[in-house]
Every structure is written in structure tokens, then in C-alpha cells.
Amino acid sequence: MKKVNRPNVLLTGTPGVGKTTLGKELAQRSGLEYVNIGDLAQEGQLFDGFDEEYQCPVLDEDRVVDELDEKMVDGGVIVDYHGCDFFPERWFHIVFVLQTDNTNLYNRLESRGYTGKKLQDNVQCEIFQTIYEEAVGAYKAEIVHRLPSNKPEDLESNLEQIVQWIEQWMKDNN
């Protein structure tokens, strides 16, 4: 990977944990570019089939990777997605897995309109730390960090920590 002067940050975790909220605010404060994979796929129709069980289109992971690679190679991108094992490992300098307490997450997803199996499965995904396991399986353990994402104070402290990490990374790499 060519040398870049700004890092790429992955924000991942179960739907509803607060990736988008954190990612957009982090982009404002750090000047890095925010990319929401769901939106990118929607805009470019980067789908491959339809999931009958969850009633949603299936992401075409290869096309997402192709679409983003050039931008990622330049650095300075914050990526937001509820999965992480299909991105090239070389893309990310740090990975944050956001985590939310069950009841809290249940309420957030319910107010988003999730019901039945979709609601249950997502809460279970969080209980079993599925995305954290996926992240440590896909990236070096030392770049994967868990962040609590329950209350507004968590958002603020996560923002401060990540902004500080980005600033330090840029000092060390420029």
C-alpha cells in the first residue's frame, strides 16, 4: 500500500449501535471523509440478489471493494458498515467496534421499525459479539478496539479519543 498522510478508520458493529452518528460527527471534527457502505451500495446499486428472509437486497461485496479501492488507497476515509470481513485488510489503520447494551439496542431497533426475527437476530448478534469476533478474525488484534455506545457521554468520549488518535497518527506518519 502506498504511503498515505491520513489514516483510514473503520467503524463497525451491529445495526443500531451508533456508527452513523459517530462517523458523521467524526468526519466534521477530523476533516476525514465519511463513507456509509449502505448508502454507497444504494447509490450505485451494488447489490447481488435479494434476501427473502430479511427482505433486503444483498450487498455485492466485490463491487463495493472495487468501487472504493482508489479512494481508500489515498487514505483519510471513515468507513461505516455492519460487517467487516470482506474489506481488504490493507485498507484500515484502525478498527472500532461499537457496542451497546441489549435493552438499549432493542429499543433503538424497535423505534427504527425492526420487528420479529429481524429485531431478535440483531439483538442476538450484539449479545454474541458477532461483529467483534468478525473483526478480530479479519484484522490484527492490536488495531481492533471496542467502544461503548450507550449514552451521549459515550459518543463524546469516543469522538475525543478517535480525534486524538488521528492527530497522533498524522504526527507519527508525516
Specify burial of residue 12 (Cβ count, 10 A radius: 0-12, 13-18, 19+). buried
Q: Out of 7, 9, 10, 16, point to the residue binding ligand DAT (CB under 6 A).
A: 16
Distance CA 55, CA 60 (A): 16
Produce one character per residue of 58-92: b if its CB has 16 or more CB atoms within 10 Å, e if not: ebbbeebeebbeeebeebbbbbbbbbbeebeeebb
| Residue whose CB is less far from ligand DAT, 4 or 159 | 159
Angle CA(145)–CA(150)–CA(151) in degrees, nearest 5?
120
Q: Out of 7, 8, 9, 19, point to the residue binding ligand DAT (CB under 6 A).
A: 19
17 binds ligand DAT (CB under 6 A): yes
Q: Out of 8, 99, 122, 149, point to the residue binding ligand DAT (CB under 6 A).
A: 149
- With CB atoms as reference, the residue minimizing the distance to ligand DAT is 18
Q: Out of 54, 89, 151, 173, point to the residue binding ligand DAT (CB under 6 A).
A: 151
97 binds ligand DAT (CB under 6 A): no
> What are the residues facing 35 on neighbouring strands?
79
Binding to ligand DAT in span 33-92, by CB under 6 A: none
In the bound complex, what is the minimum distance in angstroms from residue 38's beta carbon to ligand DAT? 9
Q: Out of 108, 118, 145, 146, point to the residue binding ligand DAT (CB under 6 A).
A: 108
| Residue whose CB is less far from ligand DAT, 90 or 117 | 117
Position 7: which residue type? Answer: P
Parallel, antiparallel, or unpaired for β 77-80 and 33-36?
parallel
* Closest of 91, 82, 93, 92 to residue 134, by C-alpha: 82
**Residue ranges that bind ligand DAT, judged by CB under 6 A:** 13, 15-21, 108, 149-152, 154-155
